[in-house]
Amino acid sequence: MEISTLATYHCLAFVWYFFVAYSITHVKTEEPPSELFLYGGQWKYLTVLNLFLQAVFYGVSFLADVLRLIKKLRCAKCIISSRDLLFSVLAFPVSTFVSMSFWTLYTYNRELVYPKSLDGVIPLWLNHAMHTAVFPFALLEILALPHRYPAKKKGLFLLGFVAFLYISWVLWIYSVTGEWVYPLFALFSPSGLAAFFAGSLAIIVSCYNFGEFLNRMIWGQSKFS
C-alpha cells in the first residue's frame, strides 16, 4: 500500500476511534442503571481503555506516515519502531481479546458483562463500535502493512505487565467500593477468580501469538534485533 494511502487510512482510523471514545465518555442519562457505579469512571472498563489505546496507536501510525511522506526518515524510523511495538504488544492482542471475550460472554449470559439495562443508555451502533469493529480494524492493519515484532520474551513480558496493571486496578476498585467492575466476577471464589484471571491471561497471550502468526504468514519473518 502506498504511503499516501496508508496515511489517509490511519488518519481516518484515528478520527473514528477518537469519535467513538468521545461518544462513550460523554454518554448521558438522567437515571443511570443500578449496575453502574461512579468510582473510576469509564476508566475501569477494558473496552473504553482499548478505544483510547487504538486512538493513540492510529495517531502514532499517522505521524509515522507523515514523516515518511516529508522524507524525515530518521524521525520516522523511531516512530515506526514505537508504532510496531504498540501494535504487536497491545493494539492487536487487546482488540482481539475484547471482541472475543465480550461476545462469548454476551452470548452465554449478557447480564454477566453487559446488562440489558445498558441498551437504554448505550446505542446499538456504539456497542458494536466498541466490541465488534475493533477486531476487523486490527486485522485490516495487519493486511495493510508489515509490523516488526519484538523478541517473544520481551513482547510477552510487556503484555503481561500491562495485564497485571489492569487486574490490579480492578482489584483496587473492588477493595474501595465492594463492587466488581463486571458482574461476572461476583460469581467466583477467590481461587476461582485467580483461575479466571490466569485463563484470561492465557487467552490474551494466544491473541498475541495469533497476531504474530498472521504477520509472519502474510509478510514473512520481521523482528527487532
pLDDT score for 30 = 55
How far apart are alpha carbons 20 and 125 in whole angstroms?
Answer: 10
CB atoms within 10 A of CB 50: 22
pLDDT score for 34 = 52
Q: Are 91 and 54 in contact (CB under 8 A)?
A: yes
Q: What is the pLDDT of residues 56-110, one digit of tens each?
A: 999 999 999 999 888 777 888 889 999 999 999 999 999 999 999 999 999 999 9
Q: Where are the alpha helices (DSSP H) in 70-220?
A: 73-86, 92-109, 124-131, 134-144, 152-177, 190-219
pLDDT score for 224 = 45
Per-domain boundaries in the chain: 3-25+33-219
pTM above 0.75, yes or no: yes
